[in-house]
Amino acid sequence: MSDGALSQAEIDALLSGVGSSDNGSGSGQGSQTVPPGASEGDVSAIQNFLSGTVEAQSSNLSMMTGTDVSFRGPQVVFTSRDALLQNLPDTVTVTKADFSSGFPGEHMFITSEAAAKSIASLMNKEENIELDEMALSVIGEAVGTIVGTQITALTGKTGNKSIANVPPHATNIPKATAALPAGNFMAATYELNLGDGKNHQLWEIFGSSVSGDIARALSGGGAGAASDGAAGIGKSGGIGMGSSMGGMGVGQSTNVSQVQFPGLFPQVSPQEQGNISLIMDVYMEMTVELGRTRKLIKEILSMGEGTIIELDKLAGEPVDILVNHKLIAKGEVVVIDENFGVRVTEIVSPIDRMTDMN
């Protein structure tokens, strides 16, 4: 330019290397450069799996937004950072929802700023919404429901009961600053209609190690069986290590001596077992607690319709599950048909329960 200023296209080009070490090439999202260790069959396996969840995703999002949401697709391809950026709008809402165990690694959703505003507006029943911290937390909640549906389906198809994700976190940023996985990765593109007559796009991104592990598990390979996402004891006594740091996956095994572990639970005598059976049909009250707060009497008396009460829980933090008002577990809220439910993510240890009772 004659005045020495950079155009927006030139700025995007300079920033395109942010958050990635990708040196791969690709002319568009349809690039099928398969990363090492992956195969074209991985695309078919994951596309078939995701397609099978679309109906449930449409139903859940319709419940959350109060409108008829159409969730169609997806088209799944291997792509690269540069190729994907060509298909994204200048400003995007990126929601990180990495898998923490089961199939640990990078996982995120990307949509346009306009689509994110529409979702937040529908869920908050508020027009002309801005993507502030509150609105972005609502986007995280929507993505959490999507991922929860996927995890439930994955657990049923693979038998892996250790699959979990970190609480989704949404940010609204220029597309060039999005921290996409390094190298070539898998992208699923959905068509999303929010009842506004517009077809929005939603991109779901899987790191190469995540997509490979899921595809192998769906094909009966049993990948990702380690419960903590860090190490798993194989049937032959080998220890398999997995890492998603820097988008790099390691799948090596070493022969070691078989380890004998003590039982995780104390043995129950036949007499004790018989005593317990006497109360098995007794009902107990189970409560899910979203959060708590303390208010002055004058604050409580001044409440009216529309008053917002801030709780002590952060957005995305697990809710408490109580039995007879005693904390026994933590979980995350899901939508089942037309009802809310809770998926248990953590059982509180007996020591912690005893401490709480004291």
List pLDDT tens digits, range 27-85. Answer: 344 445 666 666 778 888 999 999 999 998 888 888 888 888 888 889 999 999 999 99
| Separation of alpha carbons 253 and 149, rounded Å | 32
Q: CB-based contacts of 256: which residues, under 8 Å, 6+ apart? A: 237, 238, 239
Do the strands 185-193 and 99-101 form a parallel or antiparallel pair, or are they unpaired? unpaired
Q: What angle do CA 142, 144, 146 make, to 5 degrees?
A: 75
Q: Which residues pair with 98 in a beta bridge?
A: none
Q: In this predicted structure, what is the pLDDT of residue 205?
A: 95
120 touches 113 (CB < 8 A): no
Phi (first) and psi of residue 16, to 5 degrees: -65, -15
pLDDT beneath 50: ranges in the chain: 1-2, 16-31, 223-254, 257, 261-266
Specify the 3-state DSSP secondary structure of 234.
Answer: coil
Nearest to 163 by CA among 85, 224, 89, 215: 224
Residues near 194 by Cβ (< 8 Å), separated by ≥ 6? 65, 67, 69, 115, 118, 119, 122, 200
What pLDDT shows up at residue 170? 93
* CA atoms in the 13 A half-sphere facing the CB of 66: 8
Question: What is the spatial distance between Cα 101 and Cα 276, in angstroms, rounded to a whole number?
Answer: 34
User: Radius of gyration (Cα) for the chain, nearest Å?
Assistant: 23
Q: Per residue in 318-342, is it b (16+ CB within 10 Å) or e — as a string?
A: bbbbbeeeebbbbbbbbbeeeeeeb
In the prediction, which pLDDT does 163 show? 92
Judge whether 150 and 158 are in contact, CB under 8 Å.
no
Indicate the pTM of the whole model.
Answer: 0.56
Please name the amino acid found at residue 4.
G
pLDDT digits (tens, 9 = 90+) for 109-154: 999 999 999 898 888 888 888 888 888 998 998 999 999 999 999 9
Comparing C-alpha atoms, which of 172, 191, 189 is closest to residue 28?
A: 189
**Complete domains list, the chain, with CATH:** 8-222 (3.40.1550.10), 283-357 (2.30.330.10)
190 beta partners = 202
Among 209, 184, 174, which Cα is nearest to 81's? 184
Predicted pLDDT of residue 164: 92
